[in-house]
Each structure stands twice: as structure tokens, then as C-alpha cells.
Amino acid sequence: MRSFHGLVAVAFISVIAFQSCVVHGNFYRDVYFNWGAKHSYIYGNGDNLNLLLDKSAGSGIQSYNSFLFGSIEMLIKLVPGNSAGTVTAYYLSSTGNYHDEIDFEFLGNSSGQPYTMHTNIFTQGKGNREQQFKLWFDPTADFHNYTIHWNPTAVVWFVDSIPIRVFRNYKSEGIGFPNQQGMQVYSSLWNADNWATRGGLVKIDWSCAPFMAGLKKFNARACKWEGPLSIIKCAVPTPFNWWTSRVYKQLNWDQLGKMKWVQDNYMIYNYCTDYKRFGGKMAPECYKPQY
């Protein structure tokens, strides 16, 4: 059994690792507009960026660098008011038909209704691993920290330092895991009213446009992808590769308790329990412990 002091140390290290103030990038330096540049702008010395959507177009950004393992953080303030039909996306992705991808997507709502936070992971082009949550705060009132922590052991999605989901590496058992491809960071605001709100029943009210989502303090404390040699370089357990240290191989007790609270109270969809959708043929990781 761990000592009290050991637990405190683990908790302290974990808090430090996911605080946005420790280190942050610069939007001017680290990203570019891959579409809708006229609908976006950077301000505040490069710490802040706004994505805009109107009837003519949405907008999106993409990081210059690709990464393999580490922590990718973004502070996001979602579209306020009647945002039905809009989606604010924040995710990592490689390219090609057999791409890897790790997603946060925020599905808009009619005024007064909670956002849906949609998460998913693709390995070698295969997805269908969605988990969805309602948020326990108003994500339009202020900025909140959304972090994707990714190492050779697991992918963990965090909201304000609270883990909400884990996808563990069982590649040795034939279950896909994203550890062979560098991924760039993306964020976008776009029209998804064919599916985003109540399955597409609620369309965008363009009289509320332009819609705006705010991004702040993008942090990519991660291993820069430099080709296939990075598969080994970024995974080798060294002090420089801090994400490989023992403390990141397993959530601590406090984190496990917080994740259980979120999943018990705010999870609204889990692909591992949707027997009808998959005809009872559930993904093999659904029978494996994730944390």
C-alpha cells in the first residue's frame, strides 16, 4: 500500500503536469489557419485565438509540428447562446486512410441546454469508439482546460485536470493503439447541423451568427515527430521523455475517484454498452480494464 506521503507526491506531480501555466506555445508561431482564415484571428501576443462561423464559412487551425506522445493542452471557451448545429472540434490526427486520431468535439445546443462533449479515438483508420458526456459547468462562461495526455501506455482525456476517459495500450493482444504515427493538433468551428444537435433535427439559427469559440494558451509539451525514428525515440523511458515515467503509467486514487464521479454522473453514451449498434459484437478492448 502506498504511504500517505507517496500519494500526496503523486497527486502533486500530476497537478503540476497538467497546469496550463507551466509552459505554453504561441499561436502565431505554432499554428496556421488551414481554412476560413478570414473568419479567425489571433490576438494578445499570440496567446489567444478566436474561431468564427457564419453562413459563408467556418474556420480551423492546424499545428506546424506533428507529435508522438506527451500532453497537448488547450483552454477553450465554447460558443455561447443558441449554438445548435455547430461543432467546436479539438483533436490530434495523422493523415491518410489509415490515420490515427484522438478527439474532443463539443456539440452545440439550444439556449439553456447543456453541451455534449464527444470523445473518440481512431487507430489505423478505425474509429467507432465514442464516449459522450454532459459537462458539469457552463463551458461558455469561461475558459476551461482540455488536455489529451498520450504515452506508450495509454491515452487519457482530461477536463480541468480531471480524467474523464482512458484508452489503454493492448496492441500486444491485437487491439489497435496510436503509437506509430505522428499527429498534428487541429481545432475548428464548423456547420454540422446535419447531425450535431438531436441527430440533425435542430438546425443552425443563422440569425445568431457569427458564432465564436475562443482558444487560449495552446500547450504542446510533447515529443516532436521527426519520421519513423521517432517511434523509438519518443517511447524510450528516459528522464527527458517525462511522459514515460512511472507516475504516468497509472492514474492515482484521487484521479480514479474523480473519473468515476464523471462517468457515473455525466456520461451519456459509451460504445462499449451499445449492444444494438454493434449487434452484440463488441470491440475487444471493452472486455479489458482501461485503468
One-letter amino acid for residue 287 of the chain: Y
Residue 41: Cβ-neighbour burial (10 angstroms; 0-12, 13-18, 19+): middle
Residue 226 appears among annotated catalytic residues: no
Residue of 105, 130, 173, 285 with catalytic role: 105
Tell which residue, 62, 60, 71, 58, has the closest CA to residue 19.
Answer: 71
Dihedral of CA atoms 217, 60, 50, 224 in degrees, nearest 10, equals 10
**Separation of alpha carbons 147 and 159, rounded Å:** 6
As a whole number of Å, the end-to-end CA separation of the chain is 17
Cα 268–chain centre separation: 17
281 contacts: CB under 8 Å, gap ≥ 6? none
Is 105 tagged catalytic?
A: yes
Among residues 101, 130, 226, 285, which one is catalytic?
101
Amino acid at 201: L
Phi, psi values for residue 271, rounded to 5° = -55, -25
Residues marked active site are found at: 101, 105
